[in-house]
A and B are shown apart, each in its own frame.
Chain A
Amino acid sequence: MSLTLEQVHRVAHLARIEISDGEAQNTLGQLNEIFSLIEAMQAVDTQGVEPMAHAQDVAQRLRADRVTEPGRIDQRSAFQEVAPETEAGLYLVPKVIE
């Protein structure tokens, strides 16, 4: 299997990573090499094998719907201190609705 330049641009768009034509060309070669390594998987007959998502076969725990960090509820300012741009407790982004 071999990727096309168009597919690289498409995937970069899906991943929201800006990519120039030159970078895409370079990336295409590298991805194709990596995929030729990955292709080894396709020769294996895995019919009837259950996919393994996790090392430990355990169910998700449930907990009561209550505040679990009393005294640490209002951490908005601490968390927003590391944000690129905030105002009045809100995160600022470019306008999305005209």
Chain B
Amino acid sequence: MITDSLQALARALATKEVSSVELTRQYLERIARHNPQLNAFISVDEANSLAQAGAADARLARGEGGPLTGIPIAHKDIFCAQGWLTTCGSKMLNNFVSPYDAAVIERFKRAGAVLLGKTNMDEFAMGSSNETSFYGPVKNPWNADCVPGGSSGGSAAAVAAGLTPAATGTDTGGSIRQPAALCNLTGMKPTYGLVSRYGMIAFASSLDQAGPLARSAADCALLLNAMAGFDERDSTSLERPREDYGQALTAAAGDRPLAGLKIGLPAEFFDQGCSPEVMQLVEAAIAEYRRLGAETVAVSLPSMQLSVAAYYVIAPAEASSNLARFDGVRYGYRAPAYHDLNDMYSKSRAQGFGAEVKRRILIGTYVLSHGYYDAYYLQAQRIRRLIAKDFAHAFQHCDVILGPTSPSTAFKLGEKAADPVQMYLSDIYTIAVNLAGLPALSIPCGFAGGLPAGLQLIGDYFTESRLLNVAHRYQQTSNWHLQRPAGFD
């Protein structure tokens, strides 16, 4: 059952082959067995999850189930869930039991999915390796000496090891796509504004976007159907007609299902220091896409090389503002001893935040401070415009853009932890997408040295259905996404 697709699980639940309680119990047992080794979960609440499963079984018995009713889903610990500890990977929120549900949690509840647990993550989603978590690093199920990627590293490790059928993540600079690549999963960052940010603890508000992490494009389509939708409580939520993201996937197709599709290959993705092993796998995937009928065209994203620089101004600037709310007054950590109000703020924040979070708050505070705003923040926003224009220009010549997700396979725990700049550069292929606000996904495209590599597909605004279909057609003729790590049967 742990290798079943979400659709197969829904069928098994509908035909009473298995109950949601049985299914949920099976996953809880797997978490109990494997999580001590992986550290993928921060919170598990068996009684709570089983009660939800019981309610889902009752709903299924009444014939009122939907495609996700009764299916256990793990959520990144960045989503507030009522009655659940919601830490965002930080000591600052080590005692925060959320009094309300995030929109994403609400929507999965409404769909009848079971909240299986809250997954580990880089502190406040700031990291690319899951090593900045207050709750300790997550191990990659493919190799316990390696990182699972980040910041949604717990979600990725949990799905890869079969501790949950699927999970949610958030992606500010690659935090869904990079861990998907490093753990052999399919992970999607939707168009900015498609999924409500309400109740999703803010890192960089103009970049943050929630999305699914699962084992196939078809599973991601089902999850996105549940997640996407207008929410008036998020001021940047977009009003769009409802869409079935899985519809295109079921259309009949011959040997060349992608005939007519133009895939753009940006020079900048193919000459920027990607490891040769990963590049070889990406090239093989391109050849497979040509067999599926797609045509490839050369495109260029000349400003992309500036994306890391612009990102490390914009994201810390927004973070320094968003994280100002953690002051030890209304929620979260308060220092045990202090002598006045300012001292209470300064000590609570010094003790409650980890090193990477503090570093980014300081960068953000500096670039927004008097005399530096134009040189940094405004300049970064202008470069952001240039990057978005590059994409707009490229999409005049192609339907999707293809390249590697990450320049390497999973790196070793500790390898980049002491060198922030090296860590930042590992997101070179994913960051530009967030700055432009575009949808993108990562799919498995093979293995190098026993570790998975990811292929990134980027689409124009609101082309999630097409992206998922392009990923799905590849997954129908390849079996990389079906490979599972040893030791988790």
Listed in ascending order, the chain A residues whose CB lies under 8 Å from chain B are 3, 7-8, 11-19, 27, 30-31, 33-35, 37-42, 44, 46, 49-56, 58, 60-61, 63, 75, 78-79, 81-85, 91, 93-96
- Chain A residue at minimum C-beta to C-beta distance from B193: A56
Apart from A16-B327, A82-B97, A84-B329, list 9 A-B contacts with CB within 8 A.
A15-B362, A17-B350, A34-B359, A35-B363, A40-B309, A41-B310, A54-B192, A55-B435, A94-B344
| CB of B345 within 8 Å of the partner chain | yes
**Partner of A56 from B238, B330, B347 at Cβ < 8 Å:** B238
| CB of B306 within 8 Å of the partner chain | yes
Contact A50 B382 (CB under 8 A): yes
Would A30 and B359 be within 8 Å (CB), given that A11-B365, A49-B385 are in contact?
Answer: yes
* Chain A residues with CB under 8 A of B99: 75, 78-79, 81-82
Would A30 and B369 be within 8 Å (CB), given that A51-B381, A83-B329 are in contact?
Answer: no
**Chain A min CB distance to B198 (Å):** 12
Would A31 and B385 be within 8 Å (CB), given that A54-B206, A56-B193 are in contact?
Answer: no
Segment of B151-159, B213-221, B279-287, B335-343 in the binding face: B335-343
| CB of B437 within 8 Å of the partner chain | yes
Q: 8 A-B pairs, CB-CB below 8 angstroms?
A: A15-B320, A31-B359, A42-B379, A44-B379, A56-B437, A82-B95, A82-B98, A94-B341
| CB of B313 within 8 Å of the partner chain | yes
**Chain B min CB distance to A13 (Å):** 8
| CB of B361 within 8 Å of the partner chain | yes
Contact A7 B192 (CB under 8 A): no
B224-265 Cβ-contact flags toward A at 8 Å (1 or 0): 000000001001101000000000000000000000000000
Contact A53 B349 (CB under 8 A): no
| CB of B376 within 8 Å of the partner chain | yes
Interface size on B, residues (CB 8 A): 72
**Chain B min CB distance to A36 (Å):** 8
| CB of B488 within 8 Å of the partner chain | no
* Chain A residues with CB under 8 A of B341: 93-94, 96
> How long is the Cα–Cα vector from A81 to B80 in the complex, in angstroms?
15
Contact B192 A40 (CB under 8 A): no
- Chain A residue at minimum C-beta to C-beta distance from B380: A41
B317-358 Cβ-contact flags toward A at 8 Å (1 or 0): 000100000011111111000111111111101100100001
- Chain B residue at minimum C-beta to C-beta distance from A40: B309
- Chain B residue at minimum C-beta to C-beta distance from A19: B350
* Chain A residues with CB under 8 A of B383: 41, 44, 46
> How long is the Cα–Cα vector from A87 to B310 in the complex, in angstroms?
45
- Chain A residue at minimum C-beta to C-beta distance from B361: A15
* Chain B residues with CB under 8 A of A58: 193, 236, 238
> How long is the Cα–Cα vector from A50 to B381 in the complex, in angstroms?
8
* Chain B residues with CB under 8 A of A84: 328-329, 331-334
| CB of B384 within 8 Å of the partner chain | yes
Most B C-beta atoms less than 10 A away, residue of A11, A41, A54, A55: A55
Would A17 and B346 be within 8 Å (CB), given that A55-B193, A82-B95, A82-B99 are in contact?
Answer: yes
> How long is the Cα–Cα vector from A8 to B359 in the complex, in angstroms?
10
List B residues 404-418 near A (Cβ within 8 Å): none
Contact B96 A82 (CB under 8 A): yes
**Partner of A16 from B305, B339, B349 at Cβ < 8 Å:** B349
Contact B312 A83 (CB under 8 A): no
* Chain A residues with CB under 8 A of B343: 18, 94
**Chain B min CB distance to A15 (Å):** 4
Contact A44 B193 (CB under 8 A): no
Contact B382 A18 (CB under 8 A): no
> How long is the Cα–Cα vector from A7 to B366 in the complex, in angstroms?
9
Contact B309 A50 (CB under 8 A): no
**Chain B min CB distance to A53 (Å):** 6
B437-476 Cβ-contact flags toward A at 8 Å (1 or 0): 1100000000000000000000001000000000000000
> How long is the Cα–Cα vector from A35 to B330 in the complex, in angstroms?
34
* Chain B residues with CB under 8 A of A30: 359, 420
* Chain B residues with CB under 8 A of A81: 97, 99
**Partner of A41 from B313, B328, B331, B425 at Cβ < 8 Å:** B313
> How long is the Cα–Cα vector from A55 to B382 in the complex, in angstroms?
13
Contact A55 B366 (CB under 8 A): no
Contact A55 B362 (CB under 8 A): no
* Chain A residues with CB under 8 A of B97: 81-82
Contact B232 A61 (CB under 8 A): yes
* Chain B residues with CB under 8 A of A63: 232
Minimum-distance CB pairs A-B, first 3:
A55-B437, A51-B381, A46-B382
**Chain B min CB distance to A10 (Å):** 8
Most B C-beta atoms less than 10 A away, residue of A18, A44, A60, A95: A18
